[in-house]
């Protein structure tokens, strides 16, 4: 985390607890320690939260921002509970798809009226693939509920992808591989974080 913040003073960090999502324990104490160490960073945590009690446990541990992944849901109850417990500004809904197939309850994907203020367009088969982001899907989600903050997730390769995302309704972007292998450098990140595309035009911010 220190190395990431040395690259850029990010205000938010998405954390996927893959063990928790897979039902093999969790890293709640580790994530809570990160949040305590860097209180200025909003750690958005996807931990396979599937029940209201799951949300309470993570909030009680000191986690401030929850991601409700559609793939972990059976209905809309956990999302509603998270919004009640944490509030609109601390909950994001991850609309997960794989190979074009929506994962989880259809109502979460189809009823935009249920969405919180932040929605993650998570295309799982593009994560780490280097195939580029799913621009059409992101634009479609943004158009379905004007004002919703759509975060792009999966496939980002370089500054050109960030440019494209900025023109397709993206408010923020989840990036991992392109940071790890340094395809996105500090200068590029700073430009986009300040609201400028690599072309010098306004960009998505978040």
Question: Does the pTM exceed 0.85?
Answer: yes
pLDDT value at 196 more than 70: no
**Residue 45's pLDDT band (cuts 50, 70, 90):** very high
Do residues 137 and 123 lie in contact, with contact meaning Cβ atoms separated by under 8 Å? Answer: yes
pLDDT tens digit string along 147-192?
999 999 988 999 999 999 988 888 899 999 889 888 999 999 998 8
Domain boundary assignment for the chain: 2-187
In sequence order, the 6+-apart residues with CB closer than 8 A to the CB of 90 are 64, 65, 66
Domain 2-187: CATH class, spelled out: alpha beta
Degrees (nearest 5) of the Cα angle 4, 25, 43?
30
């Amino acid at each position: 985390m220190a190395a990431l913040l040395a690259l850029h003073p990010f205000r938010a960090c998405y954390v996927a607890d893959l063990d928790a999502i897979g039902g093999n324990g969790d890293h709640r104490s580790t994530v809570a320690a990160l949040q305590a160490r860097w209180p200025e960073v909003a750690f958005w945590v996807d931990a396979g939260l599937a029940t209201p009690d799951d949300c309470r446990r993570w909030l009680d541990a000191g986690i401030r921002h929850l991601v409700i992944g559609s793939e972990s849901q059976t209905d809309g109850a956990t999302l509603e509970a998270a919004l009640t417990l944490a509030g609109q500004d601390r909950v994001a809904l991850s609309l997960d798809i794989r190979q074009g197939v929506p994962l989880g309850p259809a109502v979460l994907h189809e009823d935009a009226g249920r969405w919180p203020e932040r929605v993650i367009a998570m295309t799982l088969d593009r994560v780490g693939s280097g195939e580029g982001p799913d621009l059409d899907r992101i634009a479609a989600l943004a158009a379905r509920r004007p004002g919703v903050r759509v975060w792009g997730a999966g496939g980002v390769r370089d500054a050109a992808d960030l440019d494209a995302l900025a023109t397709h309704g993206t408010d923020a972007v989840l990036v991992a591989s392109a940071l790890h292998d340094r395809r996105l450098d500090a200068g590029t990140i700073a430009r986009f974080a300040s609201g400028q595309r690599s072309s010098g035009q306004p960009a998505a911010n978040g």
